[in-house]
Amino acid sequence: MTLIKSISGIRGTIGGAVGDNLTPIDAVKFASAYGTWLKQQRQKDQHTVVVGRDARISGDMIQNLVMNTLVGLGIHVVDLGLSTTPTVEVAVPLEHADGGIILTASHNPKQWNALKLLNAKGEFLNGAEGAKILEIAEQDRMTFADVDSLGYITKNDAYIDMHIDEVLKLNLVDANAIKAAKFKVVVDGVNSTGGIAVPLLLERLGVETVKLYCEPNGHFPHNPEPLKEHLTDLSEAVVKEHADLGIVVDPDVDRLAFMDERGEMFGEEYTLVACADYVLGKTPGNTVSNMSSTRALNDVTKQHGGTYEASAVGEVNVVELMKQNNAIIGGEGNGGIIYPELHYGRDALVGIALFLSLLAEKKLSVSDLRASYPNYFMSKKKIELTPDLDVDAILKTMAETYASEKITTIDGVKIDFANSWVHLRKSNTEPIIRIYTEAPSQEEADTLADRFIAEIKAIANS
């Protein structure tokens, strides 16, 4: 069992020993540290924090612990209940709140949960802010409110609808064209809050929707990471229903993948490529994604006369570079769309609305749309970490070995070859080394990944 503390939040498995897992005591400890930090940053009489959760089995328990800890610090809590990560991000500024907490472990299996921490803009904390909260937690420097100064909880379950309202207000979301296209879509909500939010959005857009695993009970029917090997049921349903496409999101609805009318994956890397193509065609500008994302975004950006930059992996890093480069759209190749016109956060609902607007405008099938983009293939593999594995030393050796190639070390080691690349990095969310590769064919991408896995193991065993 594991407890991981990083810029992605406090993430761990439920149960087990305190300090080694996400136990109730750990949830209270880190919520206390966050609330203490928030009060130090924004010194005023009353503080407000927005809290929402995905549908994980442990979510209700963790949320009640977190909310009442904040109450104990004298902080007012706006309880969104079952919600999505982007909905909480949208709610924070709308509530004029001082911060937000989302209880979700994103794509991790059901035994995991996490506290994702937001600032007053509804954006993830940066590394320095996260480090300060960890310092407060480790030193137990928390002081709680007296009985006359306790906070209180206000419930507001309207924010998913309000989030959808904000999406539909966007100038580039062409609701009329989408309605006229009369799309039929199968939605896999992985039995979490995407099963609430995505059908509601599609209903507002006049899309015929077939629901698959849209009961928000937290019993994930398959591995919740939206990858091809986990989505056979969606593939079969799209074909059976003669649907125009399939939509799948992760448990907290910040990652988005599409399936074409034949039941084939559009490619989660190409979610951002397609949305960027649409946005850049209407409002030319720059783009940003992380270093583990496809080269196709660079290609499409250049076609529209813009410039592309790559950041370190992690939403906060993408957002920081997007602001520096005035990027009009960006995100992560795992299906995360960041459209600043609404907010600086990965948002599957925004991605769906932009993608359907593009599809309605182009009047193409999903498979034909995919065929119109540059064709790259990725391999995403991993190596489980053991306590004796010195990851930094291994990555340093790899960089030295390939020093004659283009090397980037802002986040692990990325090696750019003429027609392919490999990115090696330690995960922020799991005890693994990620090995991502991209090449002109799937066989070449897989072969490249396997080669580097073998090289890493050889170094580790030497």
Residue pair 335/271 in contact by the 8 Å Cβ criterion: yes
Report d(CA 213, CA 219) in Å as an integer: 9
Let me know how many helices (H) and strands (E) the chain has, helices first.
15, 20
Q: Per-residue b/e over 51-72, b at no fewer than 16 CB within 10 Å? A: bbbbbbebbeebbbbbbbbbbb
Residue of 8, 106, 293, 357 marked active site: 106
How many CB atoms are closer than 10 A to CB 348? 29
* 106 noted as active-site residue: yes
Task: Starting at the earlier edge strand, list the strands of the sheet with 75-82.
Answer: 3-6, 9-13, 112-118, 99-103, 47-53, 75-82, 153-155
3-state secondary structure of 453: helix
Report d(CA 2, CA 50) in Å as an integer: 27
DSSP string, 136-205: HHHHT---PPPGGG---EEE---HHHHHHHHHHTSTT--HHHHHHHT-EEEEE-TTSTHHHHHHHHHHHT
3-state secondary structure of 351: helix
Q: Is the dihedral of CA 405, 408, 409, 411 positive or negative?
A: negative
Identity at 85, one-letter amino acid code: T
Q: Which residues, at least 6 apart from 459, have a Cβ–Cβ distance to it below 8 Å?
A: 394, 397, 398
Which residue intervals of 296-409 are DSSP H helices?
A: 296-303, 315-325, 348-362, 366-371, 391-401
Long-range Cβ pairs for the range 117-121 (8 Å, 24+): 117/9, 117/10, 117/34, 118/50, 118/88, 118/89, 118/92, 120/42, 120/92, 120/93, 121/92, 121/93, 121/344
Residue pair 254/272 in contact by the 8 Å Cβ criterion: no
3-state secondary structure of 295: coil
- Give Cα separations from 66 to 24, 83, 429 (angstroms): 9, 16, 20
Residues annotated as catalytic (active site), given as ranges: 106
